[in-house]
Amino acid sequence: MRSADSIIYLDHAAFTPICAESLKAMLAYTDSRYANASSIHESGRKANQALYSLRKRVAKVIGSRPSEVIFTGSGTESDNLAILGFARANRQHGNHIIVSAIEHKAILEPAKQLQKEGFDVTILPVDKQGSVSVADCLEAIRHNTTLISVMYANNEIGTIQPIKELAKELQSLKMDRLPVLHSDACQATGMLSINVNNLGVDMMSLNSSKIYGPKGIGMLYIRDGLKLQPIIHGGSQEGGLRAGTENLASIAGFVQALEIAESKRNDEVSRLMKLNRYFCESLLSSVDDIKLNGHPENRLVNNLHFSIKDIEGESMLLMLDHHGIAASTGSACTAHDLKPSHVLMAIGQSNEIVHSSIRFTMGRGTTMQQVNKVLQVFPDIIKKLRKSSVLTTYGYAKN
């Protein structure tokens, strides 16, 4: 069994290890500040004051008001609350929503649920680089469109979407009631600016476990004035939108991680950009029949997603794991799903190659030495797999 320190971890898009500062912040809320923030006694009031202080700190990072910050149990819950909560609460204004074809399933599955409830859902296509067309989105809008959800950056292939441009164009529409724009920014946090005023979004989802904070905590920015229905019932916490006693310790860890991610963002992006370029160019030159997925430039600097002809993705992962290298084929939320990636299908990949993908996502602990170790073993892994490939054996490799 390898120690954690010996593993080359290149799956930061799935989960990031909790940082020491975040853990320390959590521990501070497990001793004297343990009371329920809804209680009216002194300890409860102190907990409530602490909760408000944490909310203010988030608001400062994203450029919102504290009242616009709702803490949730995950990025998935934030997405669900945005889609289901808004659509159901505003059905009297229209029953049409638009979501992109490469959204996380935390968006696509709620959209399917809304279809069962009588809503009309438009799935917005993307180009071969995974980019949403602003013009196509505007063309899809109808008189009864109430909600549009386009992720800030894709979790599988890393393509960054034109959220700011889309928001600007939406504001110029001559409609009695403009569609509300939601963006899943879980993967973008720490890599891109998440200032809601600059982006122009009405709702935005974040996830602690993607930014070196604890699991099981996230948030949803909701612009003041928007009406949503809760999807979890049983209490009046979080402005009546999220029942359940607030998890102060996890919230504290999340907020600390968020502030650190923002403070390190420029330096980390600069560092990872150099690693990304070197890693990508080296792999493309050392492995035959390999293709970079996603936009070649307008992408997250920690993300590299490849399709490799005549190779089965899971086999690559197992052989990399044998060498102490952790990577993935795509979204961790669908890692055990045998269905082909909906993201890769959306960008036009064939069934033959869609299962031949691998994703390397770097983080704060990724070094040039680690990248060179991957570059040392990966080409040989591909050669070995191709020799034993069923595709090669049966002649499909020549097609």
| Residues assigned a catalytic role | 333
Q: Which residues contact 350 (CB under 8 A, 6 or more apart)?
A: none
CA 344 to CA 307: how far, in whole Å?
Answer: 10
Q: For the chain, what is the radius of gyration of the CA atoms?
A: 22
| C-alpha distance from residue 20 to each of 27, 69, 256, 264, 364 (Å) | 11, 25, 10, 15, 13
Q: Residue 11 carries which side chain, given as an amino acid letter?
A: D
Within 10 angstroms of residue 75's Cβ, the number of other Cβ atoms is 27
Q: Catalogue the E-assigned strands of 283-378.
A: 290-292, 303-308, 325-326, 357-361
Write out the E strands in the chain. Answer: 8-9, 69-72, 96-100, 120-124, 145-149, 180-184, 203-207, 218-222, 290-292, 303-308, 325-326, 357-361
End-to-end alpha carbon distance in the chain: 41
Strand runs labelled E in 77-175: 96-100, 120-124, 145-149
Q: How far apart are CA 72 and CA 39, in angstroms?
A: 20
Q: Give the residue carrying structure tokens 């968020």.
A: 258
Could you give the CA distance from residue 161 to residue 165 in angstroms, rounded to a whole number? 9
Grouping H, G, I as helix, E, B as strand and the rest as coil, residue 51 is helix
Q: How far apart are CA 323 and CA 338, in angstroms?
A: 25
Q: Please enumerate in sequence order all residues whose Cβ is within 8 A of that of 338, keeping only pairs 6 or more positions apart, or say none.
A: none
CA-CA-CA-CA dihedral for 375, 154, 335, 13, to nearest 10: 60
